[in-house]
Amino acid sequence: MDSYILIGITAFIGSIFVGGTIGLAKLIAFRTPNSALKAQPFECSEPPIGGARIRFKVAYYIFALLFLIFDIETLFLFPCVKIFRAVVDGEIAGITHQLVFLELSVFICVLFTGLIYAWRKGVLVWE
């Protein structure tokens, strides 16, 4: 029962903080009376051109996702190479450097195969 009281007190204090912050923001906020300029969309200090509901090609998103995937996977190579160097220098015992080299080779082959697959599918063609 004591835990429910603590949860209730925490929820009450949290709602006071949230409500107080929202109330304070409404109280001290700068107001512009029904300005047409305020209702207009704004981005990078440029006036909007055309509608906001234009369609983007899915290829742009796929291209961006492929970039992120290969970028992150390439970043994984740095710790792997550091481990490989530690194994070769003898700092890590019980693992042979041939095994680590084989694992790195398989990892790079999987990355390269994914790149070839995306290339053959035509995903990397920018239109």
> How much is the pLDDT for 23?
94
Position 8 in a domain: no
CA atoms within 13 A on the CB side of 124: 10
Within 8 A by CB and 6+ apart from 59, the residues are 123, 127
Winning range, highest mean pLDDT, from 11-20, 62-71, 86-95: 11-20
**Is 123:67 a contact under the CB 8 Å cutoff?**
no
> How much is the pLDDT for 92?
80
Percent of the chain with pLDDT over 70: 88
Place of tokens 């004591």: 2
CA distance 83 to 92: 8
**Of how many residues is the chain composed?**
127
Residue 66 belongs to domain spanning = 58-121
CA distance 126 to 124: 6
pLDDT digits (tens, 9 = 90+) for 81-91: 888 888 888 88
Position 37 in a domain: no
Position 98 in a domain: yes
